[in-house]
Structure 1
Amino acid sequence: MGWNKHAAAIYARQHAGSTSQRRCAAFTRRAINAGGIDIGQTLHAKEYGRLLNNAGFTVIGTGEAPQEGDVVVIQPYRGGNESGHMAIYDGQHWYSDFRQRDMWGGPGYRSAQPAYKIYRKH
């Protein structure tokens, strides 16, 4: 089965909670899996870039608008969760273990704006 970004986005929407459960990587990984790709697992969200690359996802340019099925991997910031953060875009909203207000997924990330990469599977 190939990559079905729409199936991944639907899964993310249907399984997101109303607030964070501090399990962004697990929920995002499951959404990607529902889209037909098993990227494997790692302990921290910040480490998923390598697994996404191995599965054929590539980093999009800084100025490119996100598209359905894109996955963001955000590095940790000082004083925040050491695991970093990851989420998937459904074409309108970012989802991790909850529907996010924006890509950042929380006020700490929004304020610190640590390094991040957005990955896309073509």
Structure 2
Amino acid sequence: MPWDKNKAISFARDRAGAGGSHGKSHCAKSVREAIERGGITLVPTGDAKDYGRNLTNAGFAETNTTMPIAGDVVVIQGIDGHLSGHMAIYDGRIWISDFIQNESLYPNRAYRQIKPKYKIYRHP
């Protein structure tokens, strides 16, 4: 099945909307399941920060963009207190993980203050 970013985004938005405004530490699982709903199977990994290789193996490519487009996936490295890192999908307006991230690709204040490294992946 070809990649359908709209199905992935819709699934992510529906699931995150049901979860409230704060993450439940299930960002990697939520985003992986959204990507799978869009037609791409990812090998699960334990931590969000480790999904880069799985995304590239599934046909996504790392991009150096500062202007994400709908369907882009961000993988953010861990910080103190959040060692697993973070993962989210962009819907064209906001980033979505296991919750709706209204402020930025960084999921919370600690990430926004530290600004750890991240990579954005895009499927052609």
**Class of the TM-score when normalised by the shorter of the 2 chains:** over 0.9
Task: Determine the C-alpha separation between the residues in 2 that align with 1:42 and 1:31.
Answer: 15
Partner of 2:121: 119
The answer as to 2:58 corresponding to 1:51 is no
Structure 2: stretches of 5+ with no match in the other structure = none
Q: Deviations over 1:54-75 (max 9, x none)?
A: 0010011143x10111000000
**For residue 69 of structure 2, what is the aligned residue in structure 1?**
67
Q: Which residue of 2 aligns with 1:15?
A: 15
Listed as ranges, the matches of 1:34-113 within 5 Å are 34-63=37-66, 65-77=67-79, 79-101=80-102, 102-113=104-115
Deviation (angstroms), 1:39: 1.0
Write the letter of the residue equivalent to 1:53.
T
Q: Secondary structure at the match of 2:51?
A: helix
Deviations 1:11-61 (A, max 9, x none): 010000212111100000000001000011000000000000000100111
SS in 1 for 2:31: helix
Report the CA distance between 1:99 and its aligned residue.
0.2
Give, in whole Å, the separation in 2 of the partners of 1:14 and 1:106.
20
Structural RMSD (CA): 0.8
Choose which of 26, 33, 50 in structure 1 pairs with 2:36. 33
Q: Secondary structure at the match of 2:98?
A: coil
| Alpha-carbon distance in structure 2 between the residues aligned to 1:67 and 1:34 | 18
In structure 2, what residue type is equivalent to 1:7? K
Alignment TM-score, normalising by the size of structure 2: 0.94
